[in-house]
Chain A
Amino acid sequence: DIQMTQSPSSLSASVGDRVTITCRASQSISDFLNWYQQKPGKGPKLLIFAASSLQSGVPSRFSGSGSETDFTLTISNLQPEDFATYYCQQSYSIPFTFGPGTKVDIK
């Protein structure tokens, strides 16, 4: 199985901040990397697919980059509705494993 790690596991930020979350795969996954946002009591919401493609309807302050084993999710100009937990997922090989998540809360 491909192992996914995320850093940091949590962070505190203020509205208007630029936030960067890193995801690393245990082996190359090309660009088969997706990012999801999850709020308490809700199902995950797709933000970014194929490492850098913005899902329709997602604000442009969200962006993704990276390839092979190292990936980044950036939220520029953090908004109140962005406080949530973020998960990366590799969809390169079965099983499609998720990272452990990064919780973004209010400073």
Chain B
Amino acid sequence: QVQLQESGPGLVKPSQTLSLTCSVSGGSISSADHYWSWVRQPAGKGLEWIGHIYLSGNTNYDPSLKSRVTISINTSNNHFSLRLTSVTAADTAVYYCARVSRTSNHSDYWGQGTLVIVSS
């Protein structure tokens, strides 16, 4: 059974950088049939797609975040990461990582989510 677990600071100061890691267990991050995604959810609101990364290292990002976001992958440690620079209160949210199937780009496994609050 594939499991994903987000980790990282729960509190980030405005203008600083949010950094999260998603650890994958029960399966290989090097799977040819999947790629890896980040999604966030502000309190009481809906799901927002952030971006994803392929094993090759190629990435796609939401245009509204593209200038501030970087997703990277570490096959040695079976994890992938999210960096979001110059954060503001609007970046406060629960952040989820997910595995995405190449067949129809659906996210079949998700982490439990981690709350990141942007506040001084």
Contacts and interface: CB of A to CB of B under 8 A. Distances in A.
Interface of A: 1, 31-32, 34, 36, 38, 42-46, 49-50, 53, 55, 87, 89, 91-92, 94-101
Contacts of A31: 104
A49 B47 contact: no
Interface in B38-55: 39, 46-49, 51
B105 interface: yes
B46 A100 contact: yes
Contacts of A55: 106, 108
B85 to A, nearest CB: 19
Contacts of A97: 49
A34 B100 CA distance: 12
Contacts, number: 69
Contact-size category for B: 20 to 34
Contact of B63 (A44, A95, A99): A95
By secondary structure, the A interface counts as loop
B111 interface: yes
A26 to B, nearest CB: 15
A56 to B, nearest CB: 9
Interface of B: 39, 46-49, 51, 60-63, 96, 98, 101, 103-108, 110-113
A46 B109 CA distance: 8
Contacts of B47: 36, 38, 44, 87, 89, 98, 101
Given A42-B112, A44-B96, A49-B101, A95 B49 contact: yes
A49 B48 contact: no
B106 A44 contact: no
Nearest to B50: A95
A71 B49 CA distance: 20
Contacts of B49: 89, 95-98
